[in-house]
């Protein structure tokens, strides 16, 4: 298992222009939180989905200068980019092919795809991925997981298409053990009283599809006069923080092409209260996963610019991963 | 604790008077670049008075459009590190003003219904210094 970062972790610093691409890569190298580098194409590259020759040259120069390795490029299919209608399957395929082409030119061996890529689009783009020697990794992100109905359909499509280029990217948001404390603080600041936070947690830990659980919470809270912005904000608890069992990652173990080491924050002992890192990292080691884990700090969804240094949190995540792997090696 | 996806204004809060128009910078309140066509509405208030939409333009990547014209610009992107320039015609102000913005976006890769993409609304209101 090799560690690295997705630059998406530094969203706060990126959007507020504290870094440009070179200074961000330099900071990653200086703090030793590479060497793997993942990007979201539409975040890090001004001309994405295309890149100029100059950009490619500069990218190569930066990776060499800072001794970093391109791991995964996050693609998006903007199915609703047009105002008049949704993109057709052929248009979605064309968009994805442009992004694969750019990934190839920048040296990425894995392209992250999302559930928006339907099985027809995946099948159409597979020959291009094979030709480019790129693995397509469907992100398994909350509220989906390895065993949810939508992903079972993708797994069936993968079986039918039968290409070695098709795989999955587990994201630890799918298999969480608690709602991140920072999110609960945010909801409290929006006026959600403690009794409703307790009710929210109880629903989150309960049974049923995420939207059913949110629906029960929202109806009861609205009837009791809880402020609507607080109820709306609570949607995120059910869409971004998944309750799938950690063991479910075993189902797709031999199809894992990359991993998103999601994290939100760390306690004084260096543990992630909302994600059982020891259980997940040990599982990945058990199934002999040898690829990259990109540290993905997503606390920026509730912690704005200036509240925390994103790269410091990334370093804490990697320390925890290495601690778990170290303890395992010493057994 | 305000997340980056709710911020349309980043400091310094400075508006300019140029050729009689008032201009200010707007940040894209999302974490990645979006097609310009995904700007679905832009409401601006100056000292709590709404500016008519026909008097508002937005310049992104060197191209100036009305809000209505953004709808067709689905091949152009608003790079997330770039600031758009909003220009208001027919607004007279002193040395300070209170600017309010409601920017409505369509998040084109997150579908919340068979033909419905996620709507996203960001609101900003700040006191701006006016530079002439």
Spatial separation of the C-alpha atoms in residues B42 and B66, rounded to whole Å: 10
Asked if the C-beta of B79 comes within 8 angstroms of chain A's C-beta atoms, the answer is: yes
The pLDDT of residue A312 is 98
- Of all residues in chain A, the one with the smallest CA distance to B38 is A81
Q: Which pLDDT band, with edges at 50, 70 and 90, does B112 fall under?
A: confident
Spatial separation of the C-alpha atoms in residues A79 and B111, rounded to whole Å: 8
Give the length of chain A.
Answer: 331
Tokens of A223: 């009837």
Residue B32 and residue A116: Cβ atoms within 8 Å? no
Which pTM does this prediction carry? 0.96
Residues A263 and A137 in one domain: yes
- Of all residues in chain B, the one with the smallest CA distance to A308 is B1
Q: Which pLDDT band, with edges at 50, 70 and 90, does A116 fall under?
A: confident
Which residues are CB-neighbours of B73 under 8 A, at least 6 positions away?
B35, B36, B37, B63, B65
CB distance B21 to B96 below 8 Å: no
Residue A42 and residue B1: Cβ atoms within 8 Å? no
Residue A11 and residue B31: Cβ atoms within 8 Å? yes
pLDDT in tens, A7-42: 999 999 999 999 999 999 999 999 999 999 999 999
> Hey, which residues does B105 pair with through a beta bridge?
B39, B120
Q: What is the dihedral of CA A189, A194, A198, A199, to 10 degrees?
A: -90
Residues A219 and A300 in one domain: no
Burial B120-129 (b: 16+ CB within 10 A, else e): bebebebebe
Residues A137 and A221 in one domain: no
Strands B39-46 and B56-60, bridge-based pairing: unpaired
The pLDDT of residue B1 is 52
CATH code at A131? 3.20.20.150
Which of A220, A237, A254 is a domain's end point? A237
Percent of chain A whose pLDDT exceeds 70: 100
Residue A81 and residue B37: Cβ atoms within 8 Å? yes
Residues 40-69 of B with CB under 8 A from A: none
Residue A48 and residue B71: Cβ atoms within 8 Å? no
Give the distance, in angstroms, between the CA of residue A171 and the centroid of all CA atoms in the same chain.
5
3-state SS, residue A183: helix
Q: Does residue A300 have an active-site annotation?
A: no
Chain A residues touching B72 at Cβ < 8 A: 83
Residue B111 and residue A116: Cβ atoms within 8 Å? yes
- Of all residues in chain B, the one with the smallest CA distance to A21 is B81
Percent of chain A whose pLDDT exceeds 90: 94
Domain span holding position A121 = 2-179+241-329
pLDDT in tens, A70-107: 999 999 999 999 999 999 999 999 999 999 999 999 99
Asked if the C-beta of B72 comes within 8 angstroms of chain A's C-beta atoms, the answer is: yes
Residues A16 and A56 in one domain: yes
Which residue is catalytic, options A104, A141, A260, A300? A141
Q: How many domains does chain A have?
A: 2
CB distance B76 to B117 below 8 Å: no
Chain B residues touching A73 at Cβ < 8 A: none
Tell me what the pLDDT averaged over chain A comes to: 96
Residues A84 and A221 in one domain: no
The pLDDT of residue A330 is 87
Residues A125 and A165 in one domain: yes
Residues A102 and A25 in one domain: yes
CB distance B42 to B102 below 8 Å: yes
pLDDT in tens, A230-252: 898 899 999 999 999 999 999 99
Residues A103 and A194 in one domain: no
Tokens of A255: 């199809």
pLDDT in tens, A262-289: 999 999 999 999 999 999 999 999 999 9
Residues A11 and A152 in one domain: yes
Residues A224 and A250 in one domain: no
Q: Which pLDDT band, with edges at 50, 70 and 90, does A229 fall under?
A: confident
Please choose, from the candidates A199, A180, A200, the residue with its C-alpha nearest in 3D space to the C-alpha of residue A240: A180
Is the pLDDT at A120 greater than 70, yes or no? yes
Chain A residues touching B10 at Cβ < 8 A: 16
Residues A108 and A55 in one domain: yes
Residue B12 has what DSSP assignment?
S
Residue B37 and residue A302: Cβ atoms within 8 Å? no
Which of A17, A80, A305 has the CB atom closest to B117's CB atom?
A80
Residues A152 and A232 in one domain: no
């Amino acid at each position: 298992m090799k560690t690295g970062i997705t630059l998406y972790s530094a969203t706060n610093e990126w959007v507020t222009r504290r870094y440009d691409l070179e200074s961000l890569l330099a900071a990653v190298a200086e703090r030793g939180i590479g060497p793997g580098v993942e990007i979201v194409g539409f975040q890090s590259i001004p001309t994405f989905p295309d890149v100029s020759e100059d950009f490619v040259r500069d990218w190569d120069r930066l990776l060499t200068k800072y001794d970093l390795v391109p791991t995964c490029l996050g693609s998006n299919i903007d199915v609703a980019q047009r105002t008049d209608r949704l993109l057709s399957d052929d248009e979605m395929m064309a968009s994805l092919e442009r992004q694969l082409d750019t990934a190839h030119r920048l040296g990425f061996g894995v392209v992250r795809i999302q559930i928006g890529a339907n099985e027809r689009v995946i099948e159409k783009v597979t020959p291009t991925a094979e030709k480019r020697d790129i693995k397509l990794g469907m992100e398994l992100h909350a509220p989906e997981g390895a065993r949810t109905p939508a992903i079972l359909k993708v797994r069936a499509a993968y079986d039918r298409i039968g290409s070695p280029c098709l795989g999955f990217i587990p994201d630890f948001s799918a298999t969480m053990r608690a709602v991140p404390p920072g999110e609960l603080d945010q909801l409290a600041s929006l006026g959600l009283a403690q009794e409703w936070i307790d009710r929210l947690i109880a629903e989150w830990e309960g049974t049923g599809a995420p939207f059913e659980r949110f629906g029960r919470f929202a109806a009861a809270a609205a009837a009791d006069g809880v402020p609507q912005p607080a109820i709306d904000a609570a949607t995120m608890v059910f869409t971004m923080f998944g309750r799938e069992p950690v063991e479910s990652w075993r189902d797709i173990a031999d199809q894992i092409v990359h991993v998103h080491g999601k994290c939100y924050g760390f306690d004084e002992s260096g543990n992630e209260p909302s994600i059982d890192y020891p259980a997940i990292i040990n599982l990945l080691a058990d199934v002999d996963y040898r690829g990259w884990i990109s540290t993905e700090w997503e606390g920026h969804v509730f912690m704005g610019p200036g509240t925390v240094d994103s790269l410091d949190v990334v370093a804490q995540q990697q320390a925890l991963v290495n601690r778990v792997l170290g303890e395992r090696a010493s057994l | 604790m305000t997340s980056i996806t709710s911020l349309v204004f980043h400091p310094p809060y400075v508006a300019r008077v140029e050729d009689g128009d008032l201009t200010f910078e707007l940040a894209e309140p999302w974490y990645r670049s979006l097609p310009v066509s995904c700007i679905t509405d832009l409401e601006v208030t100056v000292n709590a008075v709404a500016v008519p939409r026909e008097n508002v333009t937005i310049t992104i990547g060197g191209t100036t459009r009305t809000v209505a014209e953004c709808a067709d610009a689905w091949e152009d992107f608003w790079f997330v590190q770039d600031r758009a320039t909003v220009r208001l015609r027919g607004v007279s102000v002193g040395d300070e003003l209170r600017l309010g913005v409601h920017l409505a976006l369509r998040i084109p890769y997150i579908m919340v219904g068979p033909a419905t993409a996620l709507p996203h609304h960001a609101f900003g209101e700040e006191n701006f210094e006016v530079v002439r």
